[in-house]
């Protein structure tokens, strides 16, 4: 996750990324944070989509692939809401934050513009589907996971 951004400013970081924080906290059925992190970082994890970092349109391709897979997996709630770990140092200690994305596109690029990296972990509002971005060597990975 993003380094160098203090966890105390996480709400401002999310807002700068174009996300609206929903008051009241995350739903109780959110998956355990460690399980979500492992779904992205585990040794046997395979990406759903890969974009070479050196590609001429890497940011655009990553945005397109993430939103394509998020939409196809019924990731968004009725109001466009989902849960995200704040993409800041210590974000896992903050926990899941319910947000609404009123922009609806280019989320990895918006996060990268604010934090310096497109990496983030997000889950559907019902806590069942993860759709994340990871940077692995010379590639951006879009990762999907379904929690049982």
Q: How confident is the model at residue 127 (pLDDT cuts 50, 70, 90)?
A: very high
Stronger pLDDT, 2 or 135, i.e. the higher one: 135
pLDDT in tens, 33-70: 999 999 999 999 999 999 999 999 999 999 999 999 99
Mean pLDDT of 112-120: 97
Lookup result for tokens 């692995």: 136
Q: How far apart are CA 77 and CA 124, in angstroms?
A: 7
Identify the pLDDT of residue 2. 42
Identify the pLDDT of residue 1. 44
- Both tokens of 89, joined, read 């140092």
Query: 141 forms bridges with which residues in the sheet?
Result: 50, 134
Asked whether 91 and 129 are in contact (CB, 8 A), the reply is no
pLDDT in tens, 76-90: 888 889 999 999 999
Would you say residue 74 has pLDDT above 90? no
Q: How far apart are CA 38 and CA 136, in angstroms?
A: 15
Contacts of residue 40, Cβ cutoff 8 Å, sequence gap at least 6: 121, 130, 132, 134, 143, 145
Q: Where are the alpha helices (DSSP H) in the chain?
A: 10-16, 33-41, 58-72, 91-94, 107-115
Burial (Cβ within 10 Å: 0-12, 13-18, ≥19) of residue 15: middle
Identify the pLDDT of residue 119. 97
pTM (predicted TM-score): 0.91
Domain ranges of the chain: 7-146
């Amino acid at each position: 996750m993003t380094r160098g951004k203090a966890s105390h400013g996480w709400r401002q970081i999310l807002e700068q990324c174009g996300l609206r924080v929903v008051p009241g906290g995350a739903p109780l059925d959110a998956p355990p944070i460690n399980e979500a992190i492992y779904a992205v970082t585990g040794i046997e994890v395979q990406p759903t989509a890969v974009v070479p970092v050196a590609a001429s349109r890497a940011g655009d391709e990553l945005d397109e692939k993430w939103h394509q897979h998020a939409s196809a997996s019924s990731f968004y709630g009725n109001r466009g809401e989902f849960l995200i770990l704040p993409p800041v140092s210590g974000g896992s200690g903050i926990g899941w934050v319910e947000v609404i994305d009123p922009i609806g596109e280019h989320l990895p690029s918006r996060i990268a513009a604010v934090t310096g990296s497109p990496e983030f972990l997000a889950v559907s509002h019902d806590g069942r589907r993860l759709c994340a971005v990871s940077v692995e060597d010379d590639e951006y990975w879009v990762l999907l996971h379904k929690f049982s």
